[in-house]
Each structure stands twice: as structure tokens, then as C-alpha cells.
């Protein structure tokens, strides 16, 4: 018996996700999973998941509040009006004939932080445990980057950073699935909506090592359900009967491109026209066989039922050794020990507790596909930076509305006229119109002791509203660390450049914790993605990573070369910024001027947009000259000596001189 036949990872990821050309089983595989006992057990599991999801209601409410404030809906808070009725602040303000004005400060702060993140991207660099595998590390870095480029991870990560700022929690998912548009299987990265996720909510470890249950609520189409889980016509009929699908049902929502559907999410009931399913991963425990195979040097766990097969394998080795003349005591054996082991298990359940699929984790990292990130997770609490500035935002809106009301109710150019001064042929309204008309003329008979018409006005009293608005905006900037220098605003006259740079640097310290926390989540997500690549990339492929600063060996993924090497991903600042690229090009230019490097090395490492084109032209020219040399019948032992002087110059590589930096 081979090791593969008794490997505990009997389930492949293709069983969880539809892939092209996968082998279909016969018979009703789904119906066999749903005995009465299993359904009762599944309902208990669903009830536990529902309790975990409900316990996150406060988090979802706070997140919804933060999202509304960022969106600009900032007068929705409930309040009691003069009649003692519960209503919204907006309705109360409107009932007072005032305007619910707002100055959205939160959105501008968030946009600045998102811009800072996009301007300073991070990159995952794969390292090996030993320095001898440096080339393989570069190859794995390219493999990871190529897979992330396929998934458009820059946009995914920017969206997740926005969620990190909004709520303090991000959830990603790492899998391996079939890409229909590319007609191949590859790494799949997904962002999971935090409103649809659930987990054991008593976690305190920022690394989420105390996670023992995780899952999500999934609303999908009937056809996708059948494509994913049905392995026979009987399975399809079972799914159709379970979901009672109404084909052709109108599922167009009237509140499209809004958050109303997400805010109204119910645990058991799906959106109209969708099929509700639950993906639940949880830890199970049982006695297993821990086997140290001295022949392969591997450590693996096996089910207890595989003990006879393992013993048969050992006896077969002894027999084969005897045939080869190897004594029994010298045959390489296995050390078998019983241990109580925890392992991750997955179930895909319907709202009725029926199981579509279940099995042990198929991944070699022996965990679930989710990656959770929490901030700051202080005594189990999670919140986003929006909550730090909502009070300032409310106070700014309040003062803006009050200032507008004061201006609107102040005296503005009111015309005072004595009634007897109005001509008999004019109404007071006509008199006022003529009085304010440019070039207007009013003819009337003045009387002794009767004052002439006059205009009065008064300055509105802001009672410090303008100063309070300025103070609250300054406080909002200080609380989030986004000051004028970080926003790129023009410095006041006389401000030294060194001080301006120092202010921008110091302001970034306030956000360093938020950014580093998010970078830690990316590192854990990419490490799980790296392990998935090592497991499922089984063929040698070309890595289509942009850039030319890579060795030829690193441009091709070779699964045989990396199968016994341990890798881990680190996060580093990316060199893909305009300032950094300019620094590199300036340094290369200095090296070229001092003849430390030649022109070809300069072009290979430069970020100039025309560098690749020039390198390609140089290679074509060199090949053309070599072809001419071969046609001229040159001496193979000394080809350069037989060529004309101009051809020699064309074939010669520009050599760097022996100069060094002074």
C-alpha cells in the first residue's frame, strides 16, 4: 500500500469547488450524508453558529453607524422631539424650519489614509529557511506575486484596508479553484463580508490561534449549487427538492447599489431568488495514529482504522528486504503511536440542517481557508478609527446648522418707511421694489417731521460657532493623525522644509499601529496562499510577472525543486513608488558614469519605460551580427580576429572599467 492511499488528506479541493473535467461519482452521495442522527447534529451546529452570529450584532450596528457617517448620512441618530415622540435628528431639525447641514470630515480623512496606503504599497517576499535556496525563494516570490496579480490583490487589499479603518475587522479567504475565463485551476483570493461571517467570539489572541469555529453565510444561485455539489442526477434532484427552486423568478431589487440588503441580513432566510447555504469550519478531536516513517523521514497522522494497513506495509518491507538479503533488524521501519489530535472539519449545510458536503480539511496547512484580522482586539473589543472622530463630526454639523440658522434669522437690509410717505398711487410692495431697483426713481411729497425711508441691517452673531468648527476640525485631524502636512496642504509662509517634512513624518506615527496591524493580516493571508500554491501547483509553469530584474531560473515554477523546502512570506515595503524608482535610476546613472557598470546592466535594472525596448533591440542587433559573422566563415577558435573592425565593435560587450568610487 502506498503512502498516498492512507494519507489523511483524502479530500481534494476540487471536491469543494467545481473544476473542469473532474471525475463524477455515481449514486446519491448527498442523501447518504443526511441520516436523521446527522441532521439533528447539524441543527445543533447551526444553532451554535446562529448564536455566534447574533452575538456580533453590536459590532454590526457600530459598523453600520460608522459607514453611514462616512457616506454622509449623519443626521439619522434617534432623538425625542418636543412632543416626546422618538424620531430622527433630521426630522427634528426640519420641523424647526432649519436645514440639517453637514460638513463630511470623516470621508476626507479616510480618503487620505487610503491614498497613503496606495502610495506606499507593501510586497510579500518569500524566504527559505536556508540561504542556499535563495534562487528558489525568488521563484516562490514570483509565483506568489503572479497569483496575486491574477486575483487583482491590489484592489482587494485596498478594499480590505478600507474595511480595516471602518470596522477594525477584516476577513479573507484563500482557496484553489477553477477560473473559467482562463480555463485553468489557480489560487483564489476573496474578501468576505464581515456582516455574513461568524466565529467563536471569545477570542483574545491577535493571531487568532484561539479560533475553533469559523464560517460564513452564503447566498448563491441554484445552478452553482448543483455544479459544486451534485455528483449525479440523484444529487441534483435532492438539491432541487431541498431548495424548492422557482426557475425564472424575478430577483431584481428596487434598492440596487445600496446597503439595505446587507443591513437586513437574516441568518436563516436568503435574499429573494437565492439559495441559502452555510460553510462551517470547526475543530474536531479524535484518537489518531502518529507515524514516523524512517524511510521517508516524514511525520503523519492516520485514522485508527488504517493500523492494519500500516502493519501490512511494514511486513511487506520485511519481505522485500529478505528477498534483497537485508536482515529484518536492518529494514527501515515506522514508529507508530496513538495520540489525541485536533483537526479542522468542514460542513456545507442548508438552513434545514441538511449536509451538502462534509470532510476533513483538504489543505496541507491543515487549517481552514479563512484569515481573520482584528484591531485592536483590546480585551476582545474591536472598533475602527471612525468611532474616534464621530463626536467631532457631530459637533461640526451642529455648529454648521446653528451658524446657518443665525445667519438666516439676522436682520438683512430691512427697509423702514413711514406709511404717510408712500405715494397714493403706489402700494408699499411697489415702493420697496422701486427703492431697491438700480436707477429706480420714487416721487413723493415729504412732510415736516416725517423721517425719510431708511435701511437697517445687523451683523449675525456667530457666538463662537466659526471658532468651534475650526477647533473640531483640528481635533479630528489630530485624533486620526492626518494633519495639514500629511494632507499635502501648502505650509504657512516662513515654514522651513525640514520642519514640514518632520511634521509629515510625525503625523504618520499616529497611523503606524493601524497600518502595521493590517500588514500583519496580509502576511498571514499570503503565508496561507503560499502553502496553497506549494500544494496545488503540480506542473512546471511560466510565471508572468512584470519586470526584468529576475533571474531566468526564477521565471519558471518547478514543483520538483521546492517540494522539500520550507518557505515563509515576509512583508516589506515595495520599491514600486515614483520616489523610490527615481532614487534607483539616479544611483544606476552614477554607477554608469563612473563605469562601475556597463550600459546593459544599467538597462536591466532601470525602471525607465524604454529600457526593455532598448534591451530587445540590442539583443536583436547582436544576433544579426553573429549571423553575419557565421556567414563570413570566421575562425571558430578566434571569431573576433577574422571580422572587420566595425563588426568587432558591434559584437563586443561594453566592459566596465576598473574604476571604483573615489
Residue 457 above 70 pLDDT? no
Write the DSSP string, 146-193. HHHHHTTHHHHHHHHHHHHHHHSEEEEEEEEEEETTTTEEEEEEEEPP
pLDDT in tens, 49-70: 999 999 999 999 999 999 999 9
pLDDT band at 369, cuts 50/70/90? very high
Least confident of 160-169, 221-230, 613-622: 613-622
Residue 66 · residue 197 · CB < 8 Å: no
274 CB-side CA count, 13 A = 18
DSSP three-state, residue 328: helix
Q: What is the pLDDT of residue 456?
A: 59
Residue 578 above 80 pLDDT? no
Round to whole Å and give the CA distance between 426 and 336. Answer: 114
The candidate with the shortest Cα–Cα distance to 13, out of 173, 249, 233, 182, is 173
DSSP three-state, residue 209: coil
Residue 116 above 50 pLDDT? yes
pLDDT band at 596, cuts 50/70/90? confident
The candidate with the shortest Cα–Cα distance to 483, out of 509, 462, 522, 455, is 509
Q: Which residues contact 8 (CB under 8 A, 6 or more apart)?
A: 288, 300, 301, 302, 303, 343, 360
Q: Which residues contact 474 (CB under 8 A, 6 or more apart)?
A: none
Q: What is the pLDDT of residue 135?
A: 79
The candidate with the shortest Cα–Cα distance to 178, out of 19, 1, 287, 59, is 19
pLDDT in tens, 238-256: 999 999 865 555 666 777 8
Q: What is the pLDDT of residue 295?
A: 84
Round to whole Å and give the CA distance between 241 and 223. Answer: 14
pTM check: above 0.85: no
Least confident of 16-30, 127-141, 154-168, 554-568: 16-30
For the record, the C-alpha cell of 252 comes out as 431584481
More confident residue, 116 or 447: 116
Round to whole Å and give the CA distance between 586 and 295. Answer: 55
For the record, the C-alpha cell of 436 comes out as 431697491
Round to whole Å and give the CA distance between 397 and 468. Answer: 11
For the record, the C-alpha cell of 84 comes out as 416626546
More confident residue, 325 or 573: 325
Residue 646 above 60 pLDDT? no
Domain ranges of the chain: 33-71+170-286+342-374, 75-101, 103-128+382-408+465-479+510-574, 411-458, 586-651
Residues 34-43, mean pLDDT to the nearest whole number: 95
More confident residue, 45 or 649: 45
Amino acid at each position: 500500500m502506498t503512502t498516498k492511499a492512507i494519507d489523511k488528506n483524502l479530500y481534494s479541493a476540487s471536491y469543494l469547488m467545481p473544476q473542469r473535467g473532474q471525475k463524477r461519482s455515481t449514486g446519491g452521495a448527498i442523501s447518504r450524508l443526511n441520516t436523521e442522527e446527522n441532521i439533528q447534529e447539524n441543527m445543533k451546529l447551526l444553532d451554535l453558529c446562529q448564536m455566534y452570529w447574533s452575538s456580533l450584532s453590536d459590532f454590526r450596528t457600530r459598523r453600520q453607524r460608522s459607514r453611514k457617517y462616512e457616506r454622509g448620512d449623519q443626521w439619522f441618530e434617534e432623538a425625542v422631539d418636543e412632543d416626546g415622540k422618538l424620531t430622527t435628528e433630521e426630522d427634528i431639525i426640519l420641523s424647526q424650519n432649519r436645514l440639517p447641514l453637514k460638513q463630511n470630515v470623516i470621508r476626507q480623512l479616510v480618503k487620505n489614509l487610503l491614498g497613503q496606503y496606495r502610495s506606499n504599497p507593501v510586497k510579500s517576499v518569500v524566504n527559505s529557511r536556508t540561504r542556499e535556496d535563495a534562487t528558489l525563494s525568488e521563484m516562490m516570490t514570483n509565483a506568489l506575486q503572479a497569483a496575486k496579480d491574477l486575483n487583482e490583490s491590489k484592489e482587494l487589499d485596498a478594499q480590505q484596508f478600507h474595511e480595516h479603518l471602518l470596522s477594525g475587522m477584516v476577513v479573507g479567504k484563500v482557496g484553489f479553484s477553477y477560473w473559467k475565463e482562463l480555463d485553468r485551476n489557480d489560487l483564489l483570493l476573496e474578501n468576505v463580508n464581515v456582516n455574513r461571517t461568524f466565529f467563536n467570539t471569545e477570542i483574545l489572541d491577535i493571531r487568532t490561534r484561539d479560533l475553533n469555529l469559523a464560517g460564513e453565510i452564503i447566498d448563491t444561485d441554484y445552478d452553482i449549487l448543483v455544479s459544486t455539489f451534485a455528483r449525479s442526477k440523484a444529487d441534483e434532484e435532492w438539491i432541487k427538492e431541498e431548495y424548492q427552486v422557482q426557475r425564472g423568478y424575478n430577483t431584481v431589487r428596487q434598492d440596487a447599489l445600496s446597503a439595505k440588503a446587507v443591513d437586513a441580513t437574516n441568518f436563516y432566510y436568503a435574499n429573494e431568488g437565492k439559495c441559502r447555504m452555510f460553510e462551517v469550519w470547526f475543530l474536531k478531536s479524535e484518537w489518531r495514529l502518529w507515524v514516523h516513517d524512517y524511510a521517508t523521514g516524514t511525520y503523519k497522522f492516520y485514522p485508527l482504522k488504517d493500523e492494519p494497513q500500516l502493519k501490512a506495509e511494514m511486513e511487506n518491507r520485511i519481505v522485500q528486504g529478505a528477498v534483497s538479503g537485508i536482515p529484518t533488524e536492518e529494514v527501515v521501519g515506522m514508529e507508530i503511536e496513538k495520540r489525541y489530535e485536533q483537526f479542522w472539519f468542514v460542513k456545507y449545510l442548508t438552513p434545514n440542517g441538511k449536509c451538502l458536503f462534509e470532510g476533513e480539511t483538504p489543505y496541507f496547512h491543515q487549517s481552514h481557508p479563512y484569515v481573520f484580522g482584528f484591531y485592536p482586539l483590546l480585551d476582545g473589543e474591536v472598533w475602527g478609527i471612525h468611532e474616534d472622530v464621530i463626536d467631532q463630526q457631530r459637533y461640526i454639523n451642529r455648529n454648521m446648522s446653528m451658524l446657518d440658522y443665525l445667519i438666516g434669522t439676522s436682520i438683512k437690509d430691512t427697509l423702514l418707511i413711514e406709511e404717510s410717505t408712500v405715494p397714493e398711487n403706489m402700494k408699499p410692495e411697489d415702493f420697496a421694489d422701486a427703492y431697491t431697483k438700480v436707477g429706480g426713481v420714487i416721487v413723493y411729497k415729504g412732510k415736516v417731521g416725517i423721517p425719510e425711508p431708511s435701511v437697517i441691517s445687523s451683523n449675525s452673531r456667530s457666538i463662537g460657532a466659526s471658532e468651534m468648527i475650526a477647533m473640531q476640525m483640528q481635533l479630528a485631524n489630530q485624533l486620526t493623525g492626518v494633519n495639514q502636512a500629511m494632507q499635502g496642504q501648502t505650509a504657512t509662509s516662513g515654514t522651513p522644509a525640514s520642519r514640514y517634512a518632520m511634521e509629515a513624518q510625525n503625523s504618520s506615527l499616529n497611523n503606524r499601529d493601524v497600518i502595521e496591524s493590517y500588514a500583519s493580516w496580509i502576511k498571514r493571508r499570503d503565508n496561507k496562499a503560499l502553502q496553497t500554491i506549494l500544494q496545488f501547483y503540480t506542473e512546471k509553469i511560466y510565471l508572468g510577472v512584470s519586470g526584468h530584474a529576475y533571474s531566468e531560473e526564477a521565471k519558471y515554477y518547478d514543483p520538483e525543486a521546492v517540494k522539500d523546502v520550507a518557505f515563509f512570506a515576509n512583508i516589506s515595503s515595495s520599491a514600486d513608488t515614483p520616489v523610490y524608482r527615481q532614487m534607483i535610476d539616479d544611483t544606476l546613472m552614477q554607477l554608469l558614469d563612473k563605469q562601475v557598470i556597463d550600459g546593459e546592466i544599467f538597462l536591466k535594472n532601470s525602471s525607465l519605460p524604454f529600457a526593455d525596448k532598448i534591451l530587445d533591440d540590442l539583443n536583436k542587433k547582436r544576433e544579426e551580427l553573429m549571423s553575419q559573422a557565421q556567414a563570413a566563415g570566421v575562425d571558430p577558435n578566434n571569431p573576433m580576429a577574422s571580422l572587420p573592425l566595425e563588426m568587432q565593435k558591434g559584437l563586443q560587450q561594453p566592459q566596465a572599467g576598473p574604476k571604483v568610487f573615489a
